[in-house]
Copies of this chain bind each other. A is one copy, B any other.
């Protein structure tokens, strides 16, 4: 298992290649390289560059799988090293999360009987996002002879390479360049003509240039450089493949020149230097994001896996991109951005890296025109953010997919899952509340708030009979039920969205009335509109049970057939109960947290009793068929005292990909679940919340076997470090601050540890 900083794979089985490609993905926010198994033909190459989308003949616009610069082959004489046709004598792949380095070690017996030892390490630089490199240490164990190194940039890559039906090519190769030495391959996306160049250079390290020959060839859409040398038995040869990447999104300059210059500078710096600078950056990140769990190695390693990949998936260098549901780790969900980002991932960044959080929200601002276009197309006003978002904010949810039995099924989320609009507004509010970044709110946030409020105002429908406003024909977070009326989550947050917009306008007017007025004028909103919004918002309908205690997920939900979950599978997750011939949507079974989500987002608007009753009601009916669900139940479980289930749901969440417990890790990271993992640790066990008065609250609880839980958060530019131990809580802030611990107020002085005994 390696150290608590390592993810280790010790058995080779080609059937697991794609899963571990996801787990071993290296990303720096600018780009993600799937952790392709070296020396195998069984792989799904993945080179995803944030923001590069294309439709061409695909079902919908999707993230482009760019030309693959990782391709690297070793031959001894004419025998290619191929793990699937060799005897694997020793095997190890290891992700060192502390350093951000992917290691591998092979001892292979080739069909000819030659035994070769190969060790590699690879990084995708966080120091300079345009750089990546992989080092190979090659030892011919029992022979001497000719060795060839084949340096390739493969432009034949397609999207959906494993999906025979939907395989699509989004790139035209426009240039295959010989850099003498080094190679480059330039391509252009089909729709928007974005140019991408990858360069690659092979260098012998430590021993000077061992190569005796070099040949460059262009094979159609492939750049290929072949090096020859003579290698001696039992001698180790160290070779590094250096790579740089630029796209026409990065600069107006000639990207071929930029990329070549970058390559030369990289070579000048050398592998070790860049690797160390990269690892320094990764370690700096860890200093802020790490969550220490003592006494539970499984939990410790698991939570770090999530923190590592989530923090790898974004950087603050590009305001036009956000994090996809599968991050830069795979083609699942086509690289689209969902509510997953604002509701599940954003809190992690808000509290550990606010600059990135701001950048993620800027993506929404930069796609606002697309959202306005969506509203217009659907006959609404303001901005309607897409349920699935690519590069321009237009709706890109596929219209068709497959159900659990593989039958084609119409997907309605793009038409009906409106809550994304208030989710984004909520993200802005949460960011602003934690950071106090008024500049952002004034210049960007308020515009989104107003335009989503405007959208809701046009979307709500008046019901004369009850004198109320309704939102009908929607899908809430629980996607088992479609075309429903008055989903509480949707209605409640729509109302919140409008009211919060009005409230923020009032606040901002005090700061900069001119600017607010100019914006309102630009958006065509008058004081009369504000009044109307307020009146209507007050009348938005929130369905409740007759006794007013259990919130009815949507109108008519309680009338559905009430089938209980009785059995649990080997992972401790609900097994499908007997539906007695009913369709799922005819039952009260739900896919994922819905009412519970609402109670977590707006925790201070619901009392503990209500939370408890609703948790008990819905927990029994939730199938957790989304990786977004267990973490939320984990947090709410801790709120209401169901600690046993909380731990189970927490472990389920942090092991979503490592255990592949959703069965689709092949297709990419469950990024929302990585965010859920952080929330579960910090909001759940760590007991962190913010109350109505905007005071940070800490009411932690840790399982018996944990000796310690430590985490850090940023709160209005103060760094707060929280350590939860058996019987006490230690809190230290970098600034004077008022906090509450277990409901009691404390004034924490700058850099002074306050210790609270647990009662």
Contact = CB atoms under 8 A, between A and B. Distances in A.
A514 interface: no
A164 interface: yes
B78 A226 contact: no
A84 to B, nearest CB: 8
A490 B192 CA distance: 69
Nearest to A57: B217
Contact of A111 (B15, B111, B148, B167): B15
A617 interface: no
A149 to B, nearest CB: 10
Given A155-B220, A220-B156, A148 B169 contact: no
Given A15-B111, A111-B15, A156-B220, A226 B165 contact: yes
A150 interface: yes
A400 interface: no
B164 A150 contact: yes
A215 B164 CA distance: 11
A393 to B, nearest CB: 29
Interface string A142-163: 0000001010000110100011
Interface in A70-90: 73, 75, 77-78, 80, 84-85
Given A85-B14, A111-B15, A156-B156, A164 B220 contact: no
A78 B15 contact: no
A219 B169 contact: yes
A56 to B, nearest CB: 10
Given A75-B164, A226-B164, A169 B220 contact: yes
A217 B156 contact: no
A25 interface: no
Instruction: Bin the interface of chain A by size.
Output: 35 or more
Contacts of A150: 164
A663 B219 CA distance: 30
A173 interface: yes
A312 interface: no
Nearest to A222: B156
Contact of A219 (B78, B85, B158, B218): B158
A552 interface: no
B148 A219 contact: no
Contacts of A111: 15
A164 B228 CA distance: 10
A274 interface: no
Contacts of A158: 219
A156 B152 CA distance: 15
B80 A164 contact: yes
A347 to B, nearest CB: 36
A218 B57 CA distance: 11
A404 to B, nearest CB: 14
Interface in A552-605: none
Contacts of A15: 111
Given A156-B219, A220-B220, A78 B165 contact: yes
A219 B172 CA distance: 9
A167 B73 CA distance: 14
B226 A169 contact: no
A221 interface: yes
Contacts of A75: 164
A139 interface: no
Nearest to A74: B164
A653 interface: no
A549 interface: no
A410 to B, nearest CB: 18
A155 B220 CA distance: 9
A143 to B, nearest CB: 13
A168 interface: yes
16 contacts: A14-B85, A41-B41, A42-B85, A73-B164, A77-B406, A78-B162, A78-B165, A80-B164, A148-B164, A156-B219, A164-B226, A165-B228, A167-B217, A169-B218, A169-B219, A221-B221
Interface of A: 14-15, 41-42, 57, 73, 75, 77-78, 80, 84-85, 111, 148, 150, 155-156, 158, 162-165, 167-169, 173, 215, 217-221, 226, 228, 406
Given A156-B156, A220-B221, 8 more contacts: A15-B111, A57-B217, A75-B164, A78-B164, A78-B165, A84-B84, A165-B226, A169-B217
- Closest 3 A-B residue pairs measured CB to CB? A220-B221, A75-B164, A148-B164
